[in-house]
Chains A and B, each alone.
Chain A
Amino acid sequence: MASIGQILLAGLSLGSVYALTALGFVLIYRATNVVNFAQGEFLMLGAYFLFTFVEGAKLNYGVAAVIAIGMLGVFGLLFALGIYYPLRNRSFLPVIIATIGASIMFQNGALAIWGSSPERLRPVLEIGGSGGVTLGGVFFNYQYVIILAVTLVLMAVQYAFFEFTLLGKKTQAISQDKDMARLLGIPVTGMIALTFMYSTVLGGLAGMLVAPIFFLQHNMGSIPGLKAFSASIIGGFGDVRGAIVGGLALGVLESFGGAFISTVYKDAFAFLLVIIFLLVRPQGFFGEKVGEKA
């Protein structure tokens, strides 16, 4: 029983990482209809930025995190200007390839800057030796608890932002009709740049939080990036709640697939179920079925 609990918890923990990364995906998609395959690299960059200030410059953890977040914001702005802006009126395919090109660039740039050895970043909380607590035979890793909490808080904040604030409504208006939004006097370009900055920060935050568990490596973002994309698809693309539910579902699926089916085929199992799920319910958990009018 304890082992079932442990497996479930592992799934939720992994899922929360996917969910947090998926949030960034969804935000950019909502604002711009762009699928950003470089989202996983933001995760990697966030981790390395924080690592550089904590382990390299020996700054206080909090101060280092604030500086890293600032840098991520700037990075997001540059990304929006360099990749999104020139491609804003093109179909989704070139944009996907451009973001993949960018991700090759970032990954190998990081390899050139930070080197090839994996690095370790200390966890946010360092109480006791094990980095967690065992309750009822189930080990709770503090870092995962923090990730889950951060994910849920961010989800709530984002949900509230979109539903209850003027700025959030404006963002939604942009995603629905850019020209109309422009006519309504919404500064579309600025708002989109802001979205990219925030999404980059979100991705980077996910990286900072997983770095103590996954370790830092130039390719650490590619798998979470791909899984986060799947998570947002399951959730119903472009839905904030869907990204969370999709991420957690994917994590749990993987974890139980690993435990009860096969450890090496767990990803295959997870993807197979995702495909079957999509065939049955093409719009995902929360997506709305959009019929095309003739």
Chain B
Amino acid sequence: MRMATFKPGHWAILGGVVAVALLPLLVTGRYNTNVLLLAGAWAIAALGLTVVLGYAGQISLAQASFFGIGAYAIGLGTVHYGLNWWLAFVLGLVVAVTGGIILGATTLRLGGHYLAMVTIGFQIIFTLVMTNWSALSGGPDGITRIPRPPFFVPLNTAQRYAWFALAATLLVALAVHALRDSRLGRSMRAVRENEIAAEALGVDTVRVKITAFAISAVLGAAGGSIYASGFLYIAPDTFDFGTSVQFLAMVLVGGRESVAGSVLGAGLLTFLPEWLRELKKIYLVVYGSIIVLVIVFMPEGLWGFVTLLSRSLVRPTPIPPARGALPMGGGRPAGEPVLVIENLGKYFGGLKAVDGVSFTVRQGEVHALIGPNGSGKTTILNVISGLYAPSFGEITFLGRSVGGQRASRIARCGMTRTFQNLRLFRELTVWENVLIGAQRAGGDETAIRERAASAIEFMSLTILAHNRARNLPYGTQKRVEIARALAGVPELLLLDEPAAGLTQSEKQDLVEIVQQLHARGLTMLLVEHDMSLVSQLSHHITVINFGRKIAEGAPERVLAEPAVGEAYLGNREAARA
């Protein structure tokens, strides 16, 4: 019984502790011990990149500058200003967090290559300032005779300090690993996989990205502090662009999404040049080609390669059983307005995509928004859910004016949605996708897991829970999207063409699902092309054409109106319905 509770995670921790205890004993000589503690310091900074790059998917080529901030905090603090080591350490973290937040804030506007450029610029400016502002940094000569931190036992030998450094590495590794499946970690990975979907599910993507950069900066600085006291000397040219590139290479070679990968990558890329020393002149040629080969042949890094080989051996832990039925929002008397749209408009330059539309969605009803292709339905949905800011008009949701607010804010008020073109978190499992959706409604981890489990059960996805979303068939992926939205217990669910691309039997399943949800009192706004579906499901229809409302009312009545028929050019479908 006891043994059964000893999970793989515990074995990993035990292995880590044993490694930390043994490595400094096994590695002999001052030189190798130094390389070892260097590997530890670098691994900590590389783990920072695991967070910002691996989890949140944001590129950073400035990690060496945070490493430098930590190192200089120790060097300047202890040597120049005589501060206590730990005080200097904390000050370094504070400066690094500030820098990380500034860098993270640029992601508000920039991503991809542009972000790469900004981080490169940050890095280059840092190196130049530290080299040339001698009054601040001690200049290019650097700072020497840096002390070791005061600790419970004196860390006066390289071996003892190596223990200290590796223990710190292990702690950071465990923390970063724990972060991965925490609420914040899941939000980060959601941002990486699909920013728009994350935002629409209530994840404050800006805050998440800035937090990721801040954590990464803190870990960079912590690594730098440990480096400074290990090396006893620092100079600006250690913290240059080349070092940032090396951090990035460590994470990518090791495997960017896993803690073990980053540690492995840091260890390998620290020791590799030392092992290759014998090759003398061409060792960097070999080093470069090894990087290329790993990237080419092991897409998920060395660790990804290892897990690929061992995947069949490790069984995923089953998801918790759903307790009770899927909770539903509501609690308002039927017929009360949930969403009120008044004179809503959205112009793209000269294009009037939506031009003065008004309608009201009431508690408990299935409200359908229909219209021919390009009539502006999806644009309306995007404005309501906050992905676009309205050009004019009012949107009132549950009595609050939400027009122009960010999607995550609106989502947190109780509105979730699905997307016309799937926006799943493709690399994550079904279970993780739904967990992220479940986070919207708040509560502790147990509550989140229970909601997610019920949503998965409701959508009959239980046996697929541990499959990656991208490996599922199209129709199943659409079900996962609905489960993800439902797990957040919305007051209003927006369904953007849920039937598009489904087979006839899948459509029938969809009808049943929507009917069940309706029976439980969920309010829904549905954009759909399939008229038979619309007439089966909806209680109220709003018809849009050329960005304007042309008809509204009960299905039978609206679909019979001549204007509606005209709108659908060659209006056979409408007539048949």
Contacts and interface: CB of A to CB of B under 8 A. Distances in A.
Q: Do A and B bind each other?
A: yes
Interface of A: 35, 82-83, 86-87, 90, 92-94, 96-98, 100-109, 111-112, 226, 229-230, 233, 237, 264-265, 267-268, 271-272, 274-275, 278-279, 282, 292-294
Given A233-B113, A237-B114, A275-B122, 11 more contacts: A82-B292, A87-B295, A87-B296, A98-B291, A102-B288, A105-B284, A108-B288, A267-B128, A268-B125, A271-B121, A294-B423
A269 to B, nearest CB: 9
Nearest to B126: A268
B120 A226 contact: yes
B245 interface: yes
A237 B113 contact: yes
Given A268-B124, A279-B106, A103 B117 contact: no
B53 interface: yes
B125 A272 contact: yes
B129 interface: yes
B382 A294 contact: yes
A236 to B, nearest CB: 10
Chain A, interface SS category = helix
A294 B419 contact: yes
Contact of A94 (B120, B128, B200, B252): B252
Nearest to A266: B128
Given A101-B249, A237-B113, A268-B124, A275 B296 contact: no
24 contacts: A82-B292, A93-B59, A93-B256, A96-B116, A98-B296, A101-B288, A101-B291, A104-B284, A104-B287, A108-B282, A109-B285, A112-B281, A112-B282, A226-B120, A264-B131, A265-B128, A267-B124, A271-B124, A278-B118, A282-B109, A282-B114, A293-B421, A294-B419, A294-B423
Contacts of B110: 278-279, 282
Contacts of A275: 106, 117-118, 121-122
Contacts, number: 128
A263 to B, nearest CB: 10
Interface string B39-69: 0000000000000010000010000000000
Nearest to A83: B292
Q: Nearest 7 CB-CB pairs, A to B?
A: A101-B291, A105-B288, A104-B288, A271-B121, A108-B284, A101-B292, A268-B125
Nearest to A271: B121
B295 A101 contact: yes
Contacts of A98: 291-292, 295-296
A278 B116 CA distance: 12
B196 A292 contact: yes
Nearest to A270: B121
A268 B129 contact: yes
B289 A101 contact: yes
Contacts of A83: 292, 296
A233 B61 CA distance: 15
